[in-house]
């Protein structure tokens, strides 16, 4: 019985060590068309959204270690695909309007920033004022873009 546990633990550790050979690709490609907003808005976006929606991700220590690295890299890749503030100028007006609408939606539903991320990065949370400022900004800029 004792030996069986030893074997299981050794196999477990070996797997953990082995997957470290494949931590995944943590990229920060060049910023080619960053969104231009007020200093206040920039601060909020950078604090709460940029880690997953820009090319200026501050990769945390646990993004270096598999398997958590896979989860983080997946979130960032998917986040950038949906909305990327670093390539903002490449969006058409139509796309921007849609994104403004989606931002309003995620703010209303309190979907962003993602909950597991907030547990690990409480400082990235949106205060009530942040939320209101963001909401006002997307509503205003959204209708200006129309
Ligand atoms: C920890 C990573 C992470 C952070 C931080 C984050 N997001 Fe996201 N976001 C994602 C991922 C992943 C998706 C795509 C999957 C999904 O919709 O859940 C996404 C999708 C979105 C979408 C598209 C939703 C849709 O309906 O398709 C919007 C808009 C958005 N995020 C806005 C924001 C805003 C605004 C912030 C900051 C207040 C933010 N996100 C912070 C990871 C993140």
Contacts of 101 (CB under 8 A, 6+ apart): 142
Longest CA–CA separation in the chain, Å: 71
- Per-residue pLDDT of 54-68, as tens digits, reads 999 999 999 999 999
pTM of the full predicted structure?
A: 0.94
Q: How confident is the model at residue 1 (pLDDT cuts 50, 70, 90)?
A: low
Confidence of residue 144 (pLDDT cuts 50, 70, 90): confident
What residue ranges do the domains of the chain occupy?
A: 2-145
The better pLDDT of the pair 91, 2 is held by 91
Nearest-CA residue for ligand 1 atom 40 is: 112
Summarize the confidence of residues 28-38 as an average pLDDT: 96
CA of 88 to the centre of ligand 1 (A): 15
Q: What is the dihedral of CA 66, 68, 73, 76, to 10 degrees?
A: -170
**Residue to mutate (ligand 1; options 42, 114, 131, 137; most atoms within 8 A of CB):** 114
Residue 145 has pLDDT above 90, yes or no: no
Distance (Å, rounded) from C-alpha 77 to C-alpha 81? 6
CA angle 50, 117, 14 (to 5 degrees): 115
Per-residue confidence (pLDDT) for residue 53, from 0 to 100: 98
- Which residues have CB under 6 Å of ligand 1? 48-49, 51-53, 75, 78-79, 82-83, 99, 102-103, 106, 112-114, 117, 126
């Amino acid at each position: 019985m004792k030996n069986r546990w030893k074997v299981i633990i050794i196999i477990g550790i070996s797997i953990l060590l082995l997957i470290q050979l494949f931590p995944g690709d943590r990229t920060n490609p060049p910023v080619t068309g960053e969104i231009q907003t007020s200093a206040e808005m920039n601060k909020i976006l950078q604090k709460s959204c940029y880690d997953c929606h820009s090319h200026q991700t501050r990769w945390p220590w646990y993004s270096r270690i598999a398997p958590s690295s896979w989860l983080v890299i997946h979130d960032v890749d998917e986040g950038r695909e949906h909305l990327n503030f670093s390539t903002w100028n490449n969006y058409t007006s139509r796309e921007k309007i849609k994104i403004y609408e989606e931002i309003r939606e995620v703010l209303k539903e309190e979907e962003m920033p993602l909950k597991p991320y907030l547990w690990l990065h409480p400082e990235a949370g949106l205060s009530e004022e942040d939320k209101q400022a963001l909401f006002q900004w997307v509503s205003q800029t959204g209708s200006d873009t129309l």
